[in-house]
Amino acid sequence: MTSRIKDLALAAQITDETLAWRDVICPVTAKYGNYVAKRDLRDKTIVSFQHVLEDTIPTLLPFVKAGAKVKVGACNPDSTDDVAAAYLAANGVEVHAFSGMTPDEYAKSIDILSSEPADIIADMGGELIEAFVQKGQKVDGALEATTTGVHRVEKLEYAFPVFNWNDIAIKDRLHNRHHVAQEMWPVFSNVTGLALYGRTVLVIGFGPVGRGVAERARNLGAVVSVSERDPVRALEAQHHGCRVVSLEDGLKENAIIVTATGLSGILGANQIKQCRRGAILINVGHSNTEIDVAWLDRQKQTKMRRHIERFELENSREVYLLNRGSLLNLAPGMGGSGKDLFDPFSAILIRGIDWLASGGAASFKPGFYDYPAEIEREIAEAILHSHS
C-alpha cells in the first residue's frame, strides 16, 4: 500500500543533524533504538496509530532498520507534522497521515491499517485496536497509551492481549500531570500572543492532565477555577488553590476554557452557548471531540490567524477555538518546550514493541493487562542515569 501523506518532498527539511540533536536530548530513546535496529525482525509487522511528529521518527525507524514491516496512521486528524510524515515515508514506513484530514479520510486510514494481519499494534486512542477486534484480526499483542483509549478498549471482547501503559506511574504521574502543561501553555502564548497574568481560566476535569494544567496556569499568574463531577477530585482541586465551580457558572465567568477529560461531548452546543463573550476554547484531552467542533462549524466563522478561529454565536457573542479542538500542546508547527520530556515515553513505546516482538505476551490470554512493571522500572532507572 502506498503512503497517504501531504508531500514526500517535505522529507528533505529534516537533516541528519536534526535527528542527531534529538538523540542528544533523548538519550534513552536513542539507546533502545540503537539496540532494536540491530535485531532481526524481518518476520514482524508492526502497526501504529499515534501522533505523527518529529519524535515519532526515532520511535519507528529502528524497527524498519531491523527489517520489520512498519505502518503508522495519525491518531488525531489535527496533530500531524507533514514534514515528519514525509520523512517516515521516505525511509520505509507506510504512512497514512497528513494535516487537515477530514473525518472520512481519518476513518479510511483506520480501515486501511486494520485490513491486513499484523503481529503488534501500538495504539493511542484505542480505535485501531477496536478495528482489529471488529474485523477478527488476531495479533501477538497490543499497547494502549491514552485515557480515551483505555475507556474504549476495556469494553471489548478481546481476541488478543492488550497492555495498558496509560496508567503506569511514569505516564500518569509525570507526563499526564506535568509534561502536557509544560508544553501546552507556551503553545497557548505562541498561538494567541497572550500571557496568563490575571486572566481567568476554567479547567474542566481534574484528573492528572487537568491537575497539571491548572497548577501551571496558577503558577503563571492565572485565576483558576475547576469544574469536576467527582467530589473527591473537586476537593483535591480546592487543596491545590483552585476555585471549584459548576460547569454552568464556570463557562459564564471564565475567559479561557480548557477541556481535559479524555471524553467526547464535554462542550456541546448548549454548553458553548453559555460561554462568556470572547471566551477562548482549548482542548488538551486525547479526544478531538471534547468540544463540538462540528456544531461550531455550522456557525459563521473567521480564521483569525494560524490555529485560531472565531465563531459568531447568537446574541452578538463570539468564541475563539484553538487548533480545531485538538490537543493544543501538539498544534503543528508551534514548538512547545520540553521536547526532552518525551524521552521516557518514546523509550516505553520502543521497549514495549520490542518486548512483544520477542514473545513477551506469549503466555498471556486475550484480555486487558498492565504494562510490565519490570520494564517501567528499567526505563526509569535509565532516565535517572541519563540525568546524572
Using CA atoms, how far apart are residues 351 and 376, in angstroms rounded to an integer? 9
pLDDT of residue 280: 98
Q: Does the fold of domain 177-326 match that of domain 8-167+338-387?
A: yes
Q: How remote is the C-alpha of 69 from its chain's centroid?
A: 23
Give the torsion sign (CA, 100, 3, 120, 355): negative
C-alpha grid cell for residue 69? 514491516
Answer whether 302's CB lies under 8 Å from 314's CB: no
pLDDT of residue 23: 94
pLDDT of residue 337: 63
C-alpha grid cell for residue 305? 490567524
C-alpha grid cell for residue 3? 503512503
Using CA atoms, how far apart are residues 379 and 382, in angstroms rounded to an integer? 5
Amino acid letter for position 145 = A
Answer whether 348's CB lies under 8 Å from 373's CB: no
> 139-145: which pairs have CB atoms within 8 A and are 24 or more residues apart?
140/356, 140/357, 140/359, 140/361, 140/362, 141/356, 141/360, 141/361, 141/364, 143/349, 143/352, 143/353, 143/356, 143/371, 145/50, 145/171, 145/345, 145/349
Domain 8-167+338-387 homologous superfamily, CATH: Adenosylhomocysteinase-like (3.40.50.1480)
pLDDT of residue 361: 96
CATH hierarchy code of domain 177-326: 3.40.50.720
φ, ψ (nearest 5 deg) of residue 285: -85, 160
pLDDT tens sequence for the chain (388 residues): 799 999 999 999 999 999 999 999 999 999 999 999 999 999 999 999 999 999 999 999 999 999 999 999 999 878 899 999 999 999 999 999 999 899 999 999 999 999 999 999 999 999 999 999 999 988 999 999 998 899 899 889 988 999 999 988 888 878 778 888 888 999 999 999 999 999 999 999 999 999 999 999 999 999 999 999 999 999 999 999 999 999 999 999 999 999 999 888 999 999 999 999 999 999 998 888 999 999 999 999 999 999 999 999 987 899 999 999 999 988 877 765 677 888 999 999 999 999 999 999 999 999 999 999 999 999 999 999 998 7
Instruction: Please choose, from the candidates 46, 144, 28, 93, the residue with its C-alpha nearest in 3D space to the C-alpha of residue 354.
Output: 46
Q: What single-letter DSSP state applies at residue 4?
A: B
Residue extents of the structural domains in the chain: 8-167+338-387, 177-326
Unique residue bearing C-alpha cell 452578538: 316
Which residue stretches of the chain are H helix? 16-25, 27-37, 57-65, 82-90, 103-113, 127-134, 147-153, 169, 180-192, 208-219, 231-239, 247-253, 269-273, 293-296, 343-357, 373-387
Answer whether 119's CB lies under 8 Å from 139's CB: yes
Q: What single-letter DSSP state applies at residue 323?
A: G
Angle at 326 between CA 325 and CA 330, to 5 degrees: 140
pLDDT of residue 286: 83
In order of 72, 111, 282, 372, the CA distances from 354 in angstroms are: 16, 25, 36, 13
